[in-house]
Amino acid sequence: MNANVPSGAVPAPVFPEITGNLGFGLMRLPRVDGKIDIALTSEMADRFLAAGCNYFDTARVYDGSEEAVREAIVRRHPRGSFLLATKMAPWAGCESREQAVAQFETSLERTGAEYFDFYLLHNLGPGRTETFDRFGLWDWALKRREEGRIRHLGFSFHAGPEELDAILRNHPEMEFVQLQINYADWDDPVVRARQNHEVARRHGKPVVVMEPVKGGLLATPPQPAVEILRRAAPDASPASWALRFAAERDGVAVVLSGMSDMAQIDDNLSLLSSGRFRPFDAAERETLKDALAAMASVPTVPCTACGYCEKACPAGIGVRGTIAALNQLTLYGNETRARNHEHWNVAKAGKRRASECLRCGACEKVCPQRIAVRDVLARAAAAFA
Ligand code: SF4
Ligand code: SF4
């Protein structure tokens, strides 16, 4: 891995109405007996606003989150004192345009927000972008923006730079892109965060960062990396390195963090609240490079995700997604996350699982990295059984 961390001054705000560098992701709110804890969420929102930050990010597919926004934020603070982003996800069970656009009205009702400062077409990528095209939702969203019910229009994205480039060429009216950016995925051959970021910037689009701590994995990176980070800054949490890496990318409008308790709020605000963000200095940049090198020395499968094996495979095995999940398990040791990763990148992507490999060896004949794919898949089949 090579972060190739750039130098740079504190970036200028790309949406001047956003204050602070931190956005409050509302997907992992605290719960009591399965229900969102409105009292604690209110307290967390108050602390966040008091620190000079104002961007809240929810989505209709975050269970109970939009209703919690109404109780904890909209009913308790003047509408102009915060910015609210939510998202439309027609790929989650909509069979008609009417059902898809009803999501917008439902989100307005649930949140009581009257309008959305930022509205996103949620999770574009293979098998999902097509739904937005089929239901004519790009033009529909533009009309809502003209009416003022949406102030800024963008989309979140989980796929590669080629598809991102195509979307932005077809839809220059989109004002921003929400991308997965963190130091571990920056040069990852599957996520290709750096390339996605470059495409967005080439099209002049500001970037809202999601997953800056890789869903929490970079709060506990591999031990060799932890030791390097701790030696350089004993009081800085590993997550703080990840947040600062994300915040100092070019053109970043805000860095979202899905916060679940007051300690996370305080830790994140200490780094990214209004006026607090400090880009890495030269020594810190070297430290992060060393930590990445230490992570790269952890023995993972050297797959570049070129996909040749999958083209040759008679069984439709999701080799790339399987290897990426196995590598994640090796690096972070988090079995639940690795299993989710495998499910999302293999079964959900319409590919067959490692356990269905025929062991014919066609993949190994074309793999430029000479990976013993059959043995790797056998390991994965056992790990993800
Ligand atoms: S060995 Fe398995 S993964 Fe490789 S080509 Fe054959 S069926 Fe596909
Ligand atoms: S051919 Fe080899 S390097 Fe390319 S995706 Fe398959 S396993 Fe990875």
pLDDT band at 12 (very low <50, low <70, confident <90, very high): low
pLDDT of residue 71: 98
Looking at all shown ligands, the one closest to residue 359's CA atom is: 1
Would you say residue 219 has pLDDT above 80?
yes
More confident residue, 218 or 4: 218
338 lines ligand 2 (CB under 6 A): no
pLDDT of residue 61: 87
Q: Centre a 10 Å sphere on the Cβ of residue 298 and count the other Cβ atoms it contains.
A: 16
pLDDT of residue 72: 98
Using a 10 angstrom Cβ sphere, with 0-12 exposed, 13-18 middle and 19 or more buried, the burial of residue 289 is middle
pLDDT of residue 4: 40
Ligand 1: atom nearest CA of 316 is 8
Task: Encode pLDDT of 317-334 as tens digits.
Answer: 999 999 999 999 998 889
Lowest mean pLDDT among 59-68, 71-80, 91-100, 300-309: 300-309
Mean pLDDT of 84-108: 94
Mean pLDDT of 190-214: 95
Q: Centre a 10 Å sphere on the Cβ of residue 147 and count the other Cβ atoms it contains.
A: 9
Lowest mean pLDDT among 12-16, 66-70, 352-356: 12-16
What residue ranges in the chain does DSSP mark as E strands? 22-25, 31-32, 35-36, 55-57, 83-88, 116-124, 150-157, 176-180, 207-210, 252-258
Residue 315 C-alpha to ligand 1 middle, in angstroms?
7
What is the residue-averaged pLDDT of the chain?
Answer: 92
Would you say residue 11 has pLDDT above 70?
no
Residue 304: both structure tokens together: 């570049």
Query: Domains of the chain, with CATH numbers?
Result: 22-290 (3.20.20.100), 308-383 (no CATH)
373 lines ligand 2 (CB under 6 A): yes
pLDDT of residue 13: 61
CA pair distance 56, 29, nearest whole angstrom: 12
Give residue ranges with CB within 6 A of ligand 1: 312-313, 315, 317, 319, 357-363, 373-374, 377
Residue 54 C-alpha to ligand 2 middle, in angstroms?
44
pTM listed for this prediction: 0.84
CA pair distance 98, 164, nearest whole angstrom: 26
Residue 366 C-alpha to ligand 2 middle, in angstroms?
8
pLDDT of residue 6: 43
User: Which of 188, 301, 304 has most ligand 2 atoms within 8 Å of CB, for mutation?
Assistant: 304
CA pair distance 290, 284, nearest whole angstrom: 10
Would you say residue 8 has pLDDT above 50?
no
CA pair distance 104, 82, nearest whole angstrom: 19
Looking at all shown ligands, the one closest to residue 380's CA atom is: 1
User: Which of 313, 346, 373 has most ligand 2 atoms within 8 Å of CB, for mutation?
Assistant: 373
**132 phi and psi, to 5 degrees?**
-65, -35
Residue having the nearest C-alpha atom to atom 1 of ligand 2: 367
pLDDT of residue 107: 97
Q: Which letter, b or e, does each residue of 303-333 get, where b requires 16 or more Cβ atoms within 10 Å of its Cβ? A: bebeeebbebbeeebbbbbbbbbbbbbbbbe
Task: Encode pLDDT of 104-162 as tens digits.
Answer: 999 999 999 999 999 999 999 888 899 999 999 999 999 999 999 999 999 999 899 99
Would you say residue 10 has pLDDT above 60?
no
C-alpha torsion angle, residues 58, 61, 67, 72 (rounded to 10) = -30
Task: Encode pLDDT of 321-373 as tens digits.
Answer: 999 999 999 988 899 999 999 998 899 889 999 999 999 999 999 887 889 99
